[in-house]
Amino acid sequence: MTKTGLVLKVIDNLESYICRALLALFVLLLFAQIVSRELFQQSLSWSEELAVYMFVWFVFFGASYAAKLSAHNRVTFHFKWLPEKVAVTMEALADLIWIAFNCYFVYLSYDFIFNKMNLFWKSQTLGVPMKYIYLILPIAFSLMTIRIIQVNYFKLVKGIDIRDPESLELDELIGDDHLADTQNNKK
């Protein structure tokens, strides 16, 4: 793979990489906490707080990743009674509202962190300024907005419909079955 190709791939899956690492880390951290408590009768004071903050970062990066996979649940069963053009326009309009909401939220959280928040507010056991921990909110909601635009660009301009991973898995199940059936028929 070329260098730019690799860089593009990393950027394309950025949230996924970060989330996998965060998830593995906080699961390990919690396990270490249980082991140290049960086997060595020593509880770590800082581990729970650190794990919770990693979890929050994991959640919001994960939400952005879910947007990239267009996995956020919508109620769509009524779309099959509508002409396709109407349905596509409605969904695009809904996504536009989503983008507006995200932009406003990015503004709110940025304003909160840099103007409204008490700068000396620190986390209880780690002593990290809460300002840095809250930074995930503007970062993740900006990323999510980019991902929504990305999905819609593929759908409306390139004509590639990104379907959520659940229905893809279902298609795979159905596909496998057909395959098995044709193989059985051959016998």
Binding residues for another protein, per CB under 8 A?
A: 15-16, 19-20, 23-24, 26-27, 30-31, 34, 48, 51-53, 55-56, 58-66, 69, 71-79, 87, 90-91, 93-95, 97-98, 101, 104-105, 108-109, 111-112, 116, 133-134, 137, 165-166, 170-171, 173-174, 177-178, 181
Q: Are 57 and 26 in contact (CB under 8 A)?
A: no
- Least separation in angstroms between residue 55's CB and another protein is 5
- Least separation in angstroms between residue 174's CB and another protein is 4
Is the Cβ of residue 7 or residue 86 nearer to another protein in the bound state? 86
Q: Are 35 and 43 in contact (CB under 8 A)?
A: no
Q: What's phi and psi for 122, nearest 5 deg?
A: -120, 160
- Least separation in angstroms between residue 143's CB and another protein is 11
Q: Is 56 exposed, middle or buried (0-12, 13-18, 19+ CB in 10 A)?
A: middle
Q: Are 68 and 15 in contact (CB under 8 A)?
A: yes
Q: Which of 114, 139, 155 is nearest to 64 (CA)?
A: 139
- Least separation in angstroms between residue 59's CB and another protein is 4
Is the Cβ of residue 160 or residue 166 nearer to another protein in the bound state? 166
Is the Cβ of residue 6 or residue 179 nearer to another protein in the bound state? 179
Q: Are 61 and 15 in contact (CB under 8 A)?
A: yes
For 28, 64, 74, 118, the CA distances from 91, given in Å and listed in that order, are 40, 18, 10, 40
Is the Cβ of residue 4 or residue 115 nearer to another protein in the bound state? 115
- Least separation in angstroms between residue 74's CB and another protein is 5
